[in-house]
Structure 1
Amino acid sequence: MASRKVGVLTFHRSINYGSYWQARCLVEGLRARGLDAEILDHRSRRVEWREARNAFQPTLPVRTAPRHFAALGRKTRALIAAVDALPLSPPFPLEDAARSPRYDAVVIGSDEVWNFRHPWYSGASIFFGEGLNADRLVSYAASFGNHDAADGIDPHWLERLRRFHALSVRDENSRAMLAPLSSDRLSFARAERSRGTSLGQAAPGPSLELAGNGREDSGIPLVLDPCLQFPQVIPDAAARSDTRYAVVYGHSFPDWFTAQLRRWADATGTRLVTIGYPNPIADDERIDATPADFSTLIAGATAVATNFFHGCVFAIRHARPFVCAASPYRRNKVQDLTRALGLGDHLVEDGTSDAAFAHLLAALPTDLPARLAAERTASSRFLDHALA
């Protein structure tokens, strides 16, 4: 029997290590499950221009110094080459989903694909399933990003999401946005259970595939980021170093955070290595790191200091202690991830003592592997149902 053909729809061409790795982990993770999976290679000159501008000026309105452009250019070319090596569909216009290939199912997500505040992907109907050639629409670890649930969602978009066969998200804010759908679908799912009908064999029309993590009755399931769900895709290899170093990943850190990190580094004899972005606090720069370098540098680090979601994710993947100064833009992403894994105190704030800061950079909780295993089991159960 031929494998089912599955498309992965995400922000795979963003000039960002996290975007690359979560797209790769999801598509390779699905292929390891026996599916014929590939990434839908949507293209847009408008988006590519905005991505390129952001790659060289990531901290606007604060401008990046021209001396960093060469390294940022090498980073950009490395990410483009890495994406081009992934299993991709034939390219098609972002604005014309009808020209995409035919799939048994399309899995949308592993990024803030529904963020109405995204500066260049906002409102792109393809991410709501519009025009796709698929028998089944599924979301996996999708997010509304920093579009707060209190601001609501237009019924126009909600109706499009109602057509999905199965929905899952990666944060509570996104789950709250989908509350009207979860109420409808939970009622349907409970009715099917009462009749003894498997969700995988439900009557035609969308039905809720639940993650089975003890939170079934709370609505749309929360699932793990693909980098943690399919950790085998990411090599364990660590960078070799003759000196103790910590990775700094992110930009626009608050002054209190960089001052505290500098005190910790000086007190512990740790060099600070910035990856992907210039950071004045750093002792060494790897602005031009490839996606593989990004992973190996974190794997070999003593600790990680970040304000990015995937800074946290890769620290967890490689079992590296970390601290995160969550910005308002990324707080929805990181707070639920860390809470679910018992790592909430690793989100530090102004006023965290130096002793507590140092303690968090010394070790991770001993129960983290068990928590990760439980979340992986729950997320696998969702995928089993959604792609049955």
Structure 2
Amino acid sequence: MAKLGVLTFHRCINYGSFWQAHCLVQGLRSLGAKPVVLDHRSDRVSRAEWRCALQPLLPARTTRPDMSLYASKIRKFVNAFASFPLSAAFALDEPVALDDCDLVVVGSDEVWNFRHPWYGGVPLFYGEGISAKKIVSYAATFGSHPAANGLESYWADKLRKFHAISVRDENSKTIIERALGREATLVLDPCLQFPETLATWPAVTHDRPYVAVYGHSFPSWFQQGVRRWTASRSLRLVSIGYRNEWADEQWLDGGPYEFAGFIAGADAVATNFFHGCVFALLNAKPFACVLSDYRSNKVRDLARLVGAQRHVLSRKTPSAGYEAILGDVPDPAIADRLAELRSHSWNYLIDVLD
């Protein structure tokens, strides 16, 4: 059987990064493959990752009590990373351990985002130094790098070596097609593609019904709109992973497995993160999302892809709009669209694994 490596951001202290890596590995196993996660290491990246995890709301400084809780969250992630089937460790900038792979799957995650604060522009994720017989991408994204900025020939030439390219958003699809003159297949994020991977995690039980808050730095008008709606329903706002003072409760040290159960147990979700939307969709939860500068491309494109545009709110959204999207389950047409996209994504994976 071919030796298959998965190249992604597998050590990020981020719920979405963890789960898309986990779901991709388990999904590839369901297709008969035996993937290993290519275990790149970098002291520079590790320092940046931990600094961000301990001080996620800069320029606001983390208080000492919160610092302890964020440290606990980090430990839960480190323990969860041990579940990945890992290759031998190698230096991020010297990928000398990749000769053994017949096939390397790059993605999912922002592997091509030049604006990522510490992984941006790392040649490895563009195939540099990978001597596998075949390199493909799955649900890769350029993240906050806009299609209008294009792709320099230096990076485009590297991506031309890929046997097949799939992305998870229209922005990335446009970049590839303009720069390379070839089609990029639009596929689902691994969490949406392989929902059975998450089905084994039970919903969190809570003493009162709650709305999950996932993200940070929400605009005040969104905070006020969500709070008005939850007050009208006697629901509590519980923030996971980050402190949001406008929430009723803070769960700062929730680990990745707890996160999955937390969203599953919520009555609704308020988020400005991509995977906040993804996990709400997975659990068919009502959700309200607001765009942020860093995540606007991928969140907007996800909403368009699955037909959930009305769940992306703006300052102009009236109070009745919050009731309409947070008070009712998502349109059944979204589930139909996801089923269609899963079939399409499945076909892509079957083709590249053949």
Q: TM-score range by the shorter chain?
A: over 0.9
1:263 aligns with 2:261: no
Tell me the CA shift for residue 344 of structure 1.
0.7
Tell me the CA shift for residue 37 of structure 1.
0.4
Rounded Cα–Cα distance in structure 2 between residues aligned with 1:331 and 1:238: 29
Of residues 272, 278, 303, the one that matches 1:313 is 278
1:233 corresponds to: 197
Please identify, of 59-68 and 277-286, the stretch whose mean Cα deviation from structure 2 is larger. Answer: 59-68
For the aligned residue pairs, the C-alpha RMSD in angstroms reads 1.2
Rounded Cα–Cα distance in structure 1 between residues aligned with 2:195 and 2:292: 26
Deviations 1:163-200 (A, max 9, x none): 000001111111111124553x4xxxxxxxxxxxxxxx
Question: How do residues 100-139 of structure 1 correspond to structure 2 at under 5 angstroms?
Answer: 100-139=98-137
- After TM superposition, the runs of 4+ consecutive aligned structure 1 residues lying more than 6 A away are none
Paired residue secondary structure (1:106): strand
| Equivalent AA in structure 2 for residue 322 of structure 1 | F
2:296 corresponds to: 331
Deviations 1:75-101 (A, max 9, x none): 011011101221111111000112235
Rounded Cα–Cα distance in structure 2 between residues aligned with 1:330 and 1:109: 17
Rounded Cα–Cα distance in structure 2 between residues aligned with 1:112 and 1:291: 19
Rounded Cα–Cα distance in structure 1 between residues aligned with 2:32 and 2:2: 8
Tell me the CA shift for residue 61 of structure 1.
2.2
Judge conservation of contact 1:116–1:144 (CA < 8 Å) in 2: yes
1:173 corresponds to: 171
Paired residue secondary structure (1:98): coil
Rounded Cα–Cα distance in structure 1 between residues aligned with 2:131 and 2:22: 22
| Equivalent AA in structure 1 for residue 344 of structure 2 | A
| Equivalent AA in structure 2 for residue 231 of structure 1 | P
Paired residue secondary structure (2:313): coil
Judge conservation of contact 1:98–1:133 (CA < 8 Å) in 2: no
1:206 corresponds to: none
Rounded Cα–Cα distance in structure 2 between residues aligned with 1:338 and 1:236: 25
Paired residue secondary structure (1:122): coil
Question: How do residues 293-372 of structure 1 correspond to structure 2 at under 5 angstroms?
Answer: 293-362=258-327, 363-372=329-338
Of residues 57, 60, 66, the one that matches 2:58 is 60
Paired residue secondary structure (2:237): strand
Tell me the CA shift for residue 241 of structure 1.
2.3
Rounded Cα–Cα distance in structure 2 between residues aligned with 1:320 and 1:378: 24
1:278 aligns with 2:276: no
Deviations 1:122-181 (A, max 9, x none): 111100011113110001111111111111211011000000000011111111111245
Please identify, of 302-311 and 77-86, the stretch whose mean Cα deviation from structure 2 is larger. Answer: 77-86
Rounded Cα–Cα distance in structure 2 between residues aligned with 1:348 and 1:101: 47
| Equivalent AA in structure 2 for residue 107 of structure 1 | V
Deviations 1:104-136 (A, max 9, x none): 110001111011111111111100011113110
Deviations 1:317-358 (A, max 9, x none): 111110101102101111111111110110101110111111
Rounded Cα–Cα distance in structure 2 between residues aligned with 1:340 and 1:83: 30
Deviations 1:261-288 (A, max 9, x none): 1111111100011000111011112111
| Equivalent AA in structure 1 for residue 153 of structure 2 | P
Rounded Cα–Cα distance in structure 2 between residues aligned with 1:98 and 1:177: 29
2:339 corresponds to: 373
Please identify, of 239-248 and 104-113, the stretch whose mean Cα deviation from structure 2 is larger. Answer: 239-248
Paired residue secondary structure (2:78): helix
Paired residue secondary structure (2:226): helix
| Equivalent AA in structure 2 for residue 229 of structure 1 | Q
Deviations 1:36-72 (A, max 9, x none): 1011010000000000000011122232233211110
Judge conservation of contact 2:150–2:179 (CA < 8 Å) in 1: no
Rounded Cα–Cα distance in structure 2 between residues aligned with 1:56 and 1:12: 18
The TM-score, its normalising length taken from structure 1, stands at: 0.89
The TM-score, its normalising length taken from structure 2, stands at: 0.97
Deviations 1:1-34 (A, max 9, x none): xx32211100111110110000000011101111
Rounded Cα–Cα distance in structure 2 between residues aligned with 1:243 and 1:127: 44
| Equivalent AA in structure 2 for residue 387 of structure 1 | L
Please identify, of 301-310 and 114-123, the stretch whose mean Cα deviation from structure 2 is larger. Answer: 114-123
Judge conservation of contact 2:201–2:257 (CA < 8 Å) in 1: no
Overall identity of the aligned pairs, in % = 49
Please identify, of 60-69 and 250-259, the stretch whose mean Cα deviation from structure 2 is larger. Answer: 60-69
Of residues 155, 158, 161, the one that matches 1:157 is 155
Judge conservation of contact 1:117–1:147 (CA < 8 Å) in 2: yes
Judge conservation of contact 2:156–2:180 (CA < 8 Å) in 1: no
Rounded Cα–Cα distance in structure 2 between residues aligned with 1:352 and 1:44: 44
Judge conservation of contact 1:275–1:287 (CA < 8 Å) in 2: yes
How many residue pairs end up in the alignment? Answer: 352
Paired residue secondary structure (1:99): coil
Judge conservation of contact 1:139–1:169 (CA < 8 Å) in 2: yes
| Equivalent AA in structure 1 for residue 102 of structure 2 | D
